[in-house]
Structure 1
Amino acid sequence: MTKVLVTGSAGFIGYHLCKRLLEDGCEVVGFDALTDYYDVTLKERRQQMLQQSPQFRVVNERLETDGALHDLVIAEKPDVIVHLAAQAGVRYSIDNPRSYVDANIIGTYNLLEAVRATPCAHLLMASTSSIYGANADMPYAETHKADTQMSFYAATKKANEAMAHSYAHLYHMPVTMFRFFTVYGPWGRPDMALFKFTRAILQGDPIDVYNHGNMERDFTYVTDLVNAIRLLMDVPPERDAPVGQSDSLSPVAPYRIVNIGNGAPVRLLDFIEAIETSLGRKATRNMMDMQPGDVPATWADETLLSELTGYTPQTSVPDGVAAFVDWYRDYYS
């Protein structure tokens, strides 16, 4: 039986990944601080559902707490670690940058040190499509230069990638970094557009449409994302073993970056129309300028993911949005 440590286990993606791993027969150790960045009740409910499985146990602590991750990794000796915990949000990083230093920089350093002391077979870590920043060459490929981050959140994630690469090189630590593209679905985060739009439309409130709707996102349904992570867990990077010309495998370390996206940009206005269709209601749209730190478009090149796993995300936006709306109506009924 594989033992997997998942940081951010009560988060949106962490919950879905833990649920999938438990269904696959894995032993899962969760780590989550249950922070109040958004509704703690939502995180507590996710954690309670996971705790119904005898194969799941959790430690509620902060990444930046000295010794917490070190002691846990020594005690559990997981086969695989999936590091999803982080301070998320592009716009919040402008208002409260220190929280990103604590969780994303110090917290990730603590994890890397823990794995250095007690190695595992594969460390997988969440990054973000925001890494690509002002890069206008799309679809984004993992081998593209990514040095023009537009938000402090993205800058901390870029730092995480560099930190992980150095540890992979120095300590022969197999590391896979995921770059996620606008993940959505049931049990999603209340600060994300789908959640905010659904709530506002049902309450009869206007929705804020930034850049006057001239935005495109590579929306990725959470189940597709989890399927990709699960498959990548079994493909640790090996030195000098690239899978093709599109491979981002480091020439000096067992380290690889992999995009996980739907591979098709969707106009924000089309996304809103899918929400309206699922709700059976029209939105009142408040057209606004672009927000600081945001980018007009994202689009993943999914070639490497396909080459490594044979898998590409499949869920259409109308189907994914409908699944979220069904969950939302049921949860908040």
Structure 2
Amino acid sequence: MFFRNLTLFRFPTTLDFSQLDSLLAETPLKPVGALELSSRGFISPFGRDSEELSHRIGDSIWLTMGGEDKILPSSVVNDLLGKKLAEIEQKEGRKPGGRTRKRIKEDLVHELLPRAFVKPSRIDALLDLEHGFVAVDSSSRKGAENVVSEIRHAMGSFPALPLNAEVAPRAILTGWIAGEPLPEGLALGEECELKDAMDGGAVVKCQNQDLQGDEIAKHLEAGKQVTRLALTLDDHLSFVLGEDLIVRKLKFLDGAVDQLENTEREDLRAELDARFALMSGEVKRLFVVLESALKLSKAES
């Protein structure tokens, strides 16, 4: 259940979550309807066998947005549409106009939807009430915003906004591999992406490389700036931080995971509890480091 990506949003720490469980119960995931393309709602973080729609340990809350999407390939629709149009042209001796094409296509979609396969999905989110942030396990900004929108829909009001850095993230990341001191606990990894300062300029992607070596230094001298940078935190986490402030390729290293292996637990639920407690604590530590280093703005109450 460890998150693999973090798209972060901030919300006021004054928000009241005391009624969260009852509010989530009013917006559960419903089966996608026969004529619907998709459905969204909350499901239990613990899977189908549990009815809990949230799980809280201390100031950390675990939510899961579930989804069901109909799989209706456009190639199938277009193939049937082509056959229908050909039949009309042969019968009437003319090509159907744009409105007719649109109507026939809509009719085909409605005809096919009830027979389409359904693809289930889930996206997990961590709410930290102490620091006022929500971390969504997605590298897609749009996907993460959909989760925040569902929380807002359930609560009636949820003024969460994407992170805002008061300093340019690109400048900070570039400075770190140029030799400026990193925040305590952070260390450089072996991956980065550099871009020319001009839009449409060259892009260089480096992996398994000494980021403070001569080759990288030459790119910096040529004016390239860092837009993604691999980092580690206290040998507990490794990740790639982008100038868009999305944390990608998040991994929990031995320094963190060893804490789980040294403790015996009786069942799967206890194991998930322990993993969530560990993960939420590590993500909180990472957020605090990034908040200070990037001067992240606080959400207004």
TM range (shorter): under 0.3
Higher strand share: 2
Asked which structure has the greater CA Rg, the reply is 2
**TM-score scaled by structure 2?**
0.25
More relative contact order, 1 or 2 (CA 8 Å, 6+ apart): 2
**TM-score scaled by structure 1?**
0.23
Higher helix share: 1
